[in-house]
Amino acid sequence: MIQPSSLLLIPLIAFFLQSVNALKVNKEYNRPQFHLTPEKGWMNDPNGLWYDRKDKLWHAYYQHNPNSTVFESPISWGHSTSKDLIKWEYKGVAIEAEEEYKDNQGIYSGSVVIDRHNTSGFFNKSQDPEQRVVALYTLNTPTAQTQELAYSVDGGFSFIKYEKNPIIDVHTTQQRDPKVFWHEGTEKWIMVLAKAQEYKVEIWSSPNLKDWEFESFFTSGISGYQYECAGIFELPIENPKSDDPDTKWVLVLAVNPGAPMGGSVNQYFIGDFDGKAFYANDHVTRIQDYGKDYYAFQSFENTDSEDGAIGLAWASNWQYAIVVPATNHRHSQSLARKHTLKYVNVNPENNQLVLVQTPVLETKETKKNSSLKSWEVINQYDLEDTNLTSETFVATDFNSERNSSGVLDFNLTFTVAPESADYFVININSQIVQGTQETIQATFDPQQTTWFIDRSTQNDFQRKTPYYQERSSVYHQYASKDDDDIKTYHVYGIVDRNILELYFNNGEMTATNTFFFSQNKIPSSISIATDTEEEVFTIESLTIRELGFKCGCEK
């Protein structure tokens, strides 16, 4: 941790917004507040994400065991709903194995579609077209993985299994995670499946969700041990070139184990899709998130395609998922993110399309109707046009007289003078408990154009878990450069109890990492410092906020 030689508090424009009710620290100190978690038990891959346009309700299912905090049978689809993608309400188990088979069967990952035109024949006129929900999932048994479906006549809260399941059975134990969508061009349903240990992404088609025909397969990128959780979706290009289409298709694919950073990872490919096959633009493997804790991404069904895809990922890593600290629940999902494509200068001589990800803190509906928004700003500090040196120290403390919510975010735009060899650090500090305080850090090194992330804490768990890598780095280019070679960068970060999500240059690259303070500590303040005496770094704009629920409550 950097200790400036002398500290001069920079005057900050402070806006104090007191919540109606005093916040109380959740007994589950490591339960994120703005991230989806189960009420109890185990959670991993997001499944069956969809938006109910009729009731304006977001639905998320996920791999779940409510009676255990490790991955073990019976694995079912847990279910939660939200009006704003921030505050989630647990609805229990939505799809589970039959009682007599629970010890050796699991309802593994899959997806949901809205069968508006009743191609499946499961619905009648009494079901609103926007709520004709069909779930497709993998049934896992000791001898096979088969694809099955179930449908809902109550808007996704309960499901009826198709009496003629399975809908796909190729006599293997390694075919799973169906992601299904409607393809307008061919007027067919498309299923994307992982043929896990053959390193194939299979593409199937169907007119009715029940009868499926194999079309093609795609193989590329990091193979690792196996493929999982593939998906295909069409995205708008923010800044298309004159000879470009307005959209491109993206194929996402999870690998575990075998990630360059260790354990599990998501990769993506950009290309074209004709309803039968995916054709990648190139053979480049692109990483979706450069942190340790971002896996099994899935996009929401039934959102506006022109806005880009909105989706979630599991915020953990199979290297250490079953041993991280837990109380009565284990794990969360990432924040919902909006995805688009954008041409970016990845180095001084190469401009290429990349996946841009931005956090969804407000939906279209909450922007129209603020009463649907569950959260508010409790405290806020703003700063502009300030040189950062060893004589200056930016510090915010949202915990001087009361408990912190544990949810903080910061939005920083800064410039760096040419040929600087110095660096600065963003400290995310815990509360002081029994005279001790802990800090995780994000340090920027302009010579390497790299963020160095250190999630080391005093928690004994980290000493005992060698795969829990405490330090990692993310390289990215500057956002812009002027004629004097002064470079501008942007970073947004949100910390929520035990998870830190970083978005570099408006989401051109991201890094998601969990962390675990000891002694039930939670984040309470953010500070920024440097050792250099020179005016190398200029803060053009900085906003740091403490966030919490309007009700003053906690999950």
Q: Nearest Cα to 537, choosing from 417, 385, 444?
A: 417
Tokens for 33, please give them. Answer: 């507040």
Give average pLDDT by consecutive 10-residue segment, the chain, 555 residues: 35 33 55 98 99 98 97 96 98 93 92 99 97 99 97 98 98 98 98 98 99 98 96 97 93 96 96 98 94 98 89 98 95 98 92 97 94 95 95 78 84 93 93 92 95 94 89 92 93 98 98 96 95 94 97 78
pLDDT in tens, 296-324: 999 999 998 777 999 999 999 999 999 99
Q: Nearest Cα to 219, choosing from 251, 190, 189, 183?
A: 251
Tokens for 281, please give them. Answer: 């633009």
Per the document, the length of the chain is: 555
The residues carrying an active-site annotation are 45
pLDDT of residue 99: 83
Tokens for 549, please give them. Answer: 């629920």
**Cα separation, 38 vs 42, whole angstroms:** 7
pLDDT of residue 60: 99
**Cα separation, 183 vs 276, whole angstroms:** 10
Q: For the residues of 328-356, what is the DSSP string, one character each?
A: SEE--BPPPEEEEEEEEEEETTEEEEEEE
- Give, for 111, the enclosing helix (H) or strand (E): strand 106-114
Buried b (16+ CB within 10 A) or exposed e, 511-534: bbbbbbbbeebbbbbbbbbbebee
pLDDT of residue 554: 79
Fold entry, domain 13-22+369-549 = Jelly Rolls (2.60.120)
Domain with CATH 2.60.120.560 in the chain: 13-22+369-549
Domain with CATH 2.115.10.20 in the chain: 41-334
Region of residue 385 (phi > 0: left; psi between -120 and 50: alpha; otherwise: beta): left
Strands 278-280 and 247-255: unpaired
The highest-level CATH class for domain 41-334 is mainly beta
Are 65 and 43 spatial neighbours (Cβ–Cβ below 8 Å)? no
